[in-house]
Amino acid sequence: MENPIFKGTSDVFFKQNKDIFDIIFIDGLHLEEQADKDIQNSLNALSPNGTVVMHDCNPTTYDRQVEIYRGGNHAWNGTVWKSYVKLRMSNKNLKMCVIDTDEGLGIIRKGQQSIVKNKIGKLTYDFFDKNRKSLLNLISINKFMENKKNNSGF
């Protein structure tokens, strides 16, 4: 059996690998531009009933979501949240939620969702912080597990 470990960037991986996956975990470069690419590449490689799990979608402070990590004793989420929120605002053919655990685990599946409106046009952290629950479709672990058990979606 060939070694299944790939050493390289996610861009190169998806360019070289044409497999279809049931689950894809995104936790790479924590910047909006790269997260946009990783999401799109993942959706292109996702099986019809597959799931993308995306880490770091719920930064709890401004300092956690800056583009350049400034050090300190806190997690760094970067601007991943912007990529996730843009999908919630633009793609009705996905089913999305963020589980409120471990810096926010974004769940993305093919399906249907209502588009979230952004009346200010810009994605600022202040706007995000004030509208966090609706922008992320933020749910607890218990709610996620309950919905999964009842097969009622998110």
Segments making up each domain of the chain, as ranges? 21-149
Confidence band of 149 (pLDDT split at 50, 70, 90): confident
Decide: 32 and 82 in contact? Cβ < 8 Å: yes
pLDDT of residue 63: 86
Decide: 135 and 97 in contact? Cβ < 8 Å: no
Q: What share of the chain is helix, strand, coil (3-state, %, to 5)?
A: 35, 20, 45
pLDDT of 150 strictly over 70: yes
pLDDT of residue 1: 46
pLDDT of residue 104: 94
154 vs 113, more confident: 113
pLDDT of residue 152: 64
Confidence band of 148 (pLDDT split at 50, 70, 90): confident
Per-residue tokens: 140? 């607890």
pLDDT digits (tens, 9 = 90+) for 95-136: 999 999 989 999 999 999 999 887 667 899 999 999 999 999
pTM: 0.88
pLDDT digits (tens, 9 = 90+) for 32-80: 999 999 999 999 999 999 999 999 999 998 888 887 777 666 787 889 9
Task: Quickly tell me which residue has 């279809």 as its tokens.
Answer: 20
